[in-house]
Structure 1
Amino acid sequence: MDPFILMVIAILVALAFDMMNGFHDTANSVATVIYTKALPPQVAISIAALMNMIGPFLLGTAVAKVIATSIIPSEFLTIEMVMAGLMGAILWDLLTWWYGLPVSSSHALIGGLVGSGLAAIGFAGVKWSGLTKVILALLVSPVVGVVLGLVFMLIIGRYVISRMDKQKSNSIFKKIQILSSAAVSLSHGSNDAQKTMGIIAMFVAVTYGHSEPIIETWMIIACALAIGLGTAMGGWRIIRTLGERIGKEELSPSQGFAAETATALTIAVGSHIGAPISTTHVLSSSVVGTVMSGGTGVLNKKVVLNILMAWVLTIPVAAIAAALSYYVLMLVGI
């Protein structure tokens, strides 16, 4: 196939993954604000889509460069390998969306790239030192989310909620929760859209023989539009899981604010330092932290365990799906 045509097809697959990322992760920024009744669903999703489109322009491209250079060694890199990695991630995202499980598109992408690298080259097809750093960021961030969500909720409970009646407290937090929800969407766009930018930069570098991937303005614009469009479509199955099922009681506006603030701060720091963090994992963990402020007995442990199991399976299953996708691409001669 003509290299330019192959590059165009691969970029379209990357943008499809970016849209799927936004669709799958809509719940991250709107589930809490919808289920605390701070905003009507369509208004919340519209704001989230707009903020996701703005986010990629705010905090640089450090994460994109990490994705582009840290997983598959440049000397082995081919468009087919990366395209297969994307296909594996998309398949896992679709499966987990169907079951309403809030898993990480970031983990799925990492697993997909690892699987295609192994299928194409073997162990030398993965840059293990770079992969270790990426996975470390993905593992540490949910712990930070739980801790910050719990701490913020305890502070709010002691210094705000305890000093006013419930109705007034809910009214205040519903208003400021709109801002914290928008902050989550901004941070999500700033971190997750960069991952697709890094992928597209890899495609261009391979096609034109660049020594290293370069993030160009058109890549930022395309990824911002794709993730915003995906967010606007709204993944309702996952929204319901985050809003209704993690705790045995509905989220309060103060819990929503605490979880969103914890998530936005964690993701913004990750984007700034170039750490590819999962917004899904951090938001889910932050919600768990806020729910735990009332004691672990109020957690819906079965749902939490299902989410954790999906998290554990994401990288290996996406890797297997990507490896199979690579073999299919080779079979059909792409």
Structure 2
Amino acid sequence: MIDPFVLMVIAIIVALIFDVMNGSNDAANSVATVIYTKALPPSVAIGIAAIMNIVGPFLLGTAVAQVIATSIIPTEALTIKIVMAGLMGAIIWDVFAWLKGLPVSSSHALIGGLVGSGIIALGIFGVTWGGLIKVVMALFISPIVGIILGLVIMFFLGRYVISHLGHDKSNSIFKTLQILSSASVSLSHGSNDAQKTMGIIAMFVAVTYGYDQIVIKPWMIIVCALAIGFGTAFGGWRIIQTLGERLSSQELSPSQGFAAETGTAITIAVGSHLGAPISTTHVLSSSVIGTVMAGGTGVLNKNVVVQILMAWGLTIPVAALAAAGSYLILTLVGI
């Protein structure tokens, strides 16, 4: 039997691996458009993204972490094995999606993983269905908001800015502004996504020491912020290519990049403030689609959009199945 403290340390390491992968997988969210509009060189864009992802978790509180820690699995039924298996299921799906260059959601994967491990361990009541519905609603509504904001911002930029300044002057201005909008996406991403891992680590600590409440400690914020920044520094080149080149049959303009990033940053920042765990991947992808639609749906690469939508639909059920299998494996090895 593994010592409870050692098991907690192992579980925290698995959580931080997920956090690193989240940063690596989601780096494309903030840098794809700024790279492919040539507003910044790739190394500089990813460096800024890594720094802002580290800063983000310190600015907007820990409401999302509390939601993740308390809304999916009943607090009284939590075990380290359930949560670790959920993380493993999410990691398996993230690795597969990264290899395929698909911008899927680490948030959806984590939720699916927790659902799968909760059900395999405790049955149908191993999930807090009311809390899960609220979380899933936030995950599914936010891309719709992303499309709308991307389309609306791009429409107003085209009508009131580009039409007056001309494309060349507008492109020059928006290339500069994209540095700020890209950094804003990274900041909001760090504030929302790193909190999910904080909530997981808080679960491990509470279970190990028998605490009645799940508390987010300062050290949890620090290690999760550093892990997601470290992962971001590796970049996600396959996904960057999908978002920057393949969604549209035409090259993204700096104004489109600015509009997509601004819409994404606003959506994620509001979600973090409200405690809503939102997928930066889905919101950014949707915002890019919205900006492309502002020029007419004909320029959308519909085959790529369909592939992304299929991957989104598969994320929760596949991660749940992977987590259920992981739970059985952990049981077999005596955890």
Superposed pair shares fold, TM > 0.5? yes
Distance 1:299 1:289 in 2: 10
Distance 1:6 1:18 in 2: 18
Cα deviation 1:280-324 (Å, max 9, x = unaligned): 000000000000001111100000000000000000000000000
Distance 1:181 1:70 in 2: 31
In the other structure, the counterpart of 1:217 is 218
In the other structure, the counterpart of 2:42 is 41
Q: What is the correspondence of 1:185-334 to structure 2 with a 5 Å cutoff?
A: 185-334=186-335
Distance 1:202 1:226 in 2: 18
Residue 75 (structure 1) shift? 1.7
1:78 aligned onto 2:79: yes
In the other structure, the counterpart of 2:179 is 178
Distance 2:166 2:196 in 1: 44
Cα deviation 1:233-286 (Å, max 9, x = unaligned): 011000000000000011000000000000000000000010000000000000
In the other structure, the counterpart of 1:51 is 52
Distance 1:182 1:125 in 2: 39
Partner of 1:183, secondary structure, is helix
In the other structure, the counterpart of 1:65 is 66
Distance 1:281 1:183 in 2: 16
Residue 208 (structure 1) shift? 0.4
The normalised TM-score by structure 2 is 0.99
Cα deviation 1:17-50 (Å, max 9, x = unaligned): 0000000000000000000000000000000000
Residue 332 (structure 1) shift? 0.6
* RMSD (Å), alpha carbons: 0.4
Partner of 2:77, secondary structure, is coil
In the other structure, the counterpart of 1:144 is 145
Which amino acid is the alignment partner of residue 23 of structure 2? G
Q: Name whichever of 271-280 and 163-172 sits farther off.
A: 163-172
Which amino acid is the alignment partner of residue 306 of structure 2? L
Which amino acid is the alignment partner of residue 70 of structure 1? S
Q: What is the correspondence of 1:112-123 to structure 2 with a 5 Å cutoff?
A: 112-123=113-124
Distance 1:232 1:158 in 2: 37
Residue 200 (structure 1) shift? 0.2
Runs of 4 or more, structure 1, over 4 Å off, are: none
Distance 1:270 1:189 in 2: 12
In the other structure, the counterpart of 1:7 is 8
Q: Tell me, which stretches of 5 or more residues in structure 2 are unaligned? A: none
Q: What is the correspondence of 1:77-156 to structure 2 with a 5 Å cutoff?
A: 77-156=78-157
Residue 107 (structure 1) shift? 0.1
Partner of 1:75, secondary structure, is helix
Distance 1:283 1:165 in 2: 26
Residue 165 (structure 1) shift? 2.2
